[in-house]
Structures are given as C-alpha cells and as structure tokens.
Amino acid sequence: MLGFHVPDPDEAMLVSGSRSGRGDGSPFRVVIGHGVFVLPIFRKVRYLSLAMFEAEIGERCVTKQAIQLDVRAVIAFKVANDTASIVNAAQRFLSEQEREMSVLTGRIFSGHLRSIVGSMTVEEIIRERQKLADEVLVASKVEMSNIGLWVDSFQIQSIDDGNLGYIAALAAPHNAAVKRDASIAQAAASQAAAQAEQESQRRQAEYQRETSLLRAQYQRDIDKANAEAAQAGPLAQATALQEVLTAQAVQARKQAELREQQLQAEVVKPAMAEAERVRILAEAEADRTRIQADAAASNNRIALDQLLIEQLPEIVKQASLGLSKANLTVLNGPDGVSEIVNGMVGQGLTVFNSLQKALSSNNDQPAD
C-alpha cells in the first residue's frame, strides 16, 4: 500500500518530518516491529539496523613493567533496543552506520585496553586474561551506552611480546614441567604397555601350555581306547579259553570222582565183602572144630545139637557184623537188602548143616 511502511525484524524505522517528533524532544519517530502509514512528501522514512556488528582491534600496550605487548581483541556490539539508544545511534551513525560504529567502537576499546594493560604485569595479564577482558568491557560500557551501543562480548585473541622472549621465558618452566610430565606419562604409558604385552604373552603361553596338556591328555585317552579296543578281541578269546579249560577241569574232576565211586562199587567193596565172607567161614570152621572136640569129649549127640542150635544165632550175628563193617553199597534198593539178609541166613544154615554132618560122621566112625 502506498505510504504504508513496515521495518524488518532487525531494523528500527525512523520517521521524520513535520510534527513527527515526540513529546520527549526526539527529532523523529521510532517504529519497531510493526508498520505505520507515512504521509508521502511530508514525512521521510529512514532505517537503522539493529543487527550485530563486529570490530577487531590490535594495540601495542606497555605493561606495568615497561614491557611492550601486542594485544589483539574482538568486540561484538549492536545498537541497543530502547528508543533513547536508537535515537543516539541514529544521530551519530545513520549516514554510514557500519563503518562509523566499528571505527568508533575500536577506538573506545583501544584506549581502555592500553590503560588497563599499563596497570598490570605480564604475569598477571598472562595468568588472568579474562580479568583483563572484563575490566576493559566494564570501562567501555559507559561510553558505548552514551552513543547508543550495547556490547555483547569482548574477547582477547592473542598477547605477544614480539621477539623479546619474555612470555617464552615465563612459559619455559611450565613447558619444562609439561614436557617432564609428558615424558613421565609417556614412560608410564610405555611401561604399562610393556607390562600389558608381557601379561598378554604370559597368558598366551599359559593358554598354549594348557592347550598342549589337554591335547596330550586327549591323545592319551584316544591311544588307551585304541589299545583296549585292539586287545579286546584276544582278551575275550583268552577269557573264553580259560573258561573252557576250567569247565573241562571241573568235568574231568567229576568224571574221576564218578570213576572212583564206580571202582569202589565194582571192585573194592565186592572184594571186601568176599574177604569178610571168607573170614566168617573160617571162624565158623574154627567153631565147628571146637564143637566137635566138645562133642567128642561128651559123646552126647543131643547135647551137640542143642549146642549147635544155641550157637547158630551167634554165627549169624557175627556174619552180619562182618557185613556191616564191609561198607557194602546196595545198588538195587530193598531187593538188594533182602538178598544180603537171605544170604547171611543161608550161610548160617550152611554152617549149621556142615557142623551136623561133620559131627554125624565123627560119631559114626569107630573109636580107635
């Protein structure tokens, strides 16, 4: 719209002309952040930047010790936002704002920088650089405010004594200490690295040793298993052969025992029974001779028969005792026992008949 003006966000619009002033005596109207209608021809519009500006300074200053130092610094500043500051700045810098503000600001700070450096020693300046910057900033703010400017920051970039070597001499002990500490730190780091390397090598050696032992143990187990597997066949055969031989020995022993029992039953016991029978017959013959003698002496047949009858049980008893001592083996059970008893009774009767015949024959013969 014709005659309507709007300033940028970082600008202040200055409206001058008839009755454009304010009651406080300002020569123009200040508009910030909104637009206004300006009557053409009768009023004039100008703009003042509220953006940030920067100025660099480099000054040769003399310290309290009469040592020359080259100091370089940077100032960040802008026009203040209040109306009075904008009016003050516009009246001074509106025609060529950026260049004139930077030059004037640099001169103000240079003067205060030389003054404050002259009250300090090199050691204080080096050690307390921020203190120097703060004092220069405080000293410059009043003058900067008077011309409508606001300082955001003041930073000292470098301090140099040229080729005097004073700062280098001041830094020498510190540099030596730094180098010493660096050497110590480097030595400690090297030692730690060497120890770490040695520890690593030791652990690797231990790991290799343990690995070798485990491998040897595994190989030993494998060899043992292979040997046992290789011996399993012959060992099983030897065990089986031993069991066979043992079984054969047991069988041979049982066969020998059985043969011995057979020999006892077939040879020894019958021979013992025959010997016992012969003994019994011999005893009976002796008894017969004795009886004959007794009968001849008594010449009594009835008495002789009576005597034979009385002796018959004793004869049978002796025969039975003889058989009991013979330890005969009965092979056919009750029938065998009956046969033995019948044999004994028959032998007794045979002896009795023999004695009777003998006595009868003796009695029939005439006496000499």
pLDDT tens-digit readout, 4-13? 777 788 788 7
Say which residue, 363 or 256, is predicted with more confidence.
Answer: 256
Say which residue, 289 or 57, is predicted with more confidence.
Answer: 57
- Provide the pLDDT for residue 331: 47
* Residue listed under structure tokens 């008949």: 353
pLDDT tens-digit readout, 264-280? 777 777 778 777 777 88
What does the alpha-carbon distance between residue 327 and residue 342 come to, in Å, rounded to a whole number? 18
pLDDT higher than 90, residue 72:
yes
Backbone angles phi, psi at 335, to 5 degrees: -60, -40
List, in order, residues 6 or more apart from 74 with CB less than 8 Å away: 54, 55, 56, 57, 153, 154, 155, 157
pLDDT higher than 70, residue 358:
no
- Provide the pLDDT for residue 356: 62
Complete DSSP assignment for 34-50: S-EE--TTTEEEEEEE-
3-state secondary structure (DSSP) of residue 5: strand
Burial 97-133 (b: 16+ CB within 10 A, else e): beeebbebbbebbbebbeebbeebebeebbeeeeebb
3-state secondary structure (DSSP) of residue 58: strand
77: confidence class by pLDDT, cuts 50, 70, 90: very high
3-state secondary structure (DSSP) of residue 31: strand
pLDDT higher than 60, residue 169:
yes
- The number of CA neighbours under 13 Å toward the Cβ of 358 is 21
Tell if the pTM clears 0.75, that is, is over it. no
- Provide the pLDDT for residue 310: 67
20: confidence class by pLDDT, cuts 50, 70, 90: very low
pLDDT higher than 80, residue 253:
yes
- Provide the pLDDT for residue 112: 93
* Residue listed under structure tokens 């023999």: 354
- Provide the pLDDT for residue 337: 47
361: confidence class by pLDDT, cuts 50, 70, 90: low
- Residues of the chain with pLDDT > 70, as a percent, come to 76
